[in-house]
């Protein structure tokens, strides 16, 4: 009886130990879109939250259970189970609610996030899939900024003039500003603004407004 009790307690202890997920994302991080929207990433215990708020529109939140984490040099790989029910009309992969996402370069100011590496996996596929670090290094990661860093960026100069626009657009690689076209992604815009000392929040909206006014 005593041996059975000890074995039961040991089983419970080992089960709890294996299920504990460490906190990878210790604060909220945000990605700024060109049109003034914002995507937020946060972790609470073993749950990953993704929140996307459209400009002048509603917010949509997704929830994932973090089943396991894997450290691969500069990358942190997250094995996830979707906790959201999908309407039947959008049921694109029935029974396949697992996926894999990755983070890198996590610090107090920012982290880089790749969404997703794999989606629509079965549990068996999730457990057996092999992650190739060379493929990770080819993925496009987006820069998410911490709430604290966004407050710091809010003290930077605001985009307000055609000169400001030219400085930022010309700092973006492969832009077509000189030929009368503006081409950039949110990632390019945010990094160019910070590099040149400008607040990236709503910069895309302001630049589009300036560009429209000078074209009239």
Q: pLDDT tens track of the chain, all 216 residues?
A: 544 444 444 434 444 434 578 899 999 999 999 999 999 999 999 999 999 998 777 889 999 999 999 999 999 999 999 998 765 444 567 778 999 999 999 999 999 999 888 999 999 999 999 999 998 999 999 999 999 999 999 999 999 999 999 999 999 976 777 667 777 899 999 999 999 999 999 999 999 999 888 876
What pLDDT shows up at residue 6? 45
What pLDDT shows up at residue 84? 86
Residue 188 CA neighbour count, 13 Å, CB half: 12
Inter-residue long-range contacts of 41-50, CB under 8 Å, 24+ positions, other chains counted: 41/111, 41/113, 41/144, 45/21, 46/19, 46/20, 46/21, 47/83, 48/78, 48/80, 50/115
Round to whole Å and give the CA distance between 9 and 15. Answer: 10
With beta carbons less than 8 A apart as the criterion, state whether 145 and 109 touch.
Answer: yes
What pLDDT shows up at residue 2? 47
Round to whole Å and give the CA distance between 39 and 208. Answer: 21
For residue 165, which phi and psi values (nearest 5 degrees)? -60, -45
E strand residue ranges, the chain: 29-32, 38-44, 47-53, 59-72, 75-82, 98-104, 110-121, 142-146
What pLDDT shows up at residue 21? 86
Would you give the distance in Å from CA 29 to the centre of its chain?
A: 8
Give, to the nearest 10 degrees, the angle between helix 162-171 and helix 203-215: 120
Closest CA to 158 of 148, 145, 168, 146: 168
With beta carbons less than 8 A apart as the criterion, state whether 206 and 55 touch.
Answer: no
pTM value?
Answer: 0.84
Angle of CA points 83, 13, 19, to nearest 5°: 25
């Amino acid at each position: 009886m005593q041996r059975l009790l000890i074995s039961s307690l040991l089983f419970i202890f080992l089960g709890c130990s294996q299920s504990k997920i460490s906190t990878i994302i210790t604060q909220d991080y945000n990605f700024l879109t060109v049109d003034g929207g914002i995507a937020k990433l946060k972790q609470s215990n073993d749950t990953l939250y993704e929140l996307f708020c459209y400009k002048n529109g509603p917010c949509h939140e997704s929830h994932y259970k973090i089943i396991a984490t894997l450290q691969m040099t500069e990358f942190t790989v997250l094995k996830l189970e979707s906790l959201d029910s999908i309407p039947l009309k959008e049921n694109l992969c029935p029974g396949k609610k697992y996926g894999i996402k990755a983070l890198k370069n996590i610090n107090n100011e920012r982290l880089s996030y790749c969404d997703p590496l794999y989606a629509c996996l079965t549990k068996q596929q999730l457990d057996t899939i092999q992650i190739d670090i060379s493929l990770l290094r080819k993925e496009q990661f987006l820069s998410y900024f911490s709430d604290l860093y966004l407050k710091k960026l809010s003290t930077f100069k605001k985009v307000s003039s055609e000169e400001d626009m030219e400085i930022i657009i010309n700092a973006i690689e492969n832009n077509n500003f000189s030929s009368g076209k503006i081409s950039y992604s949110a990632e390019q815009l945010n990094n160019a603004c910070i590099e040149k000392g400008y607040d990236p929040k709503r910069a895309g909206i302001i630049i589009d407004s300036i560009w429209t006014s000078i074209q009239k």
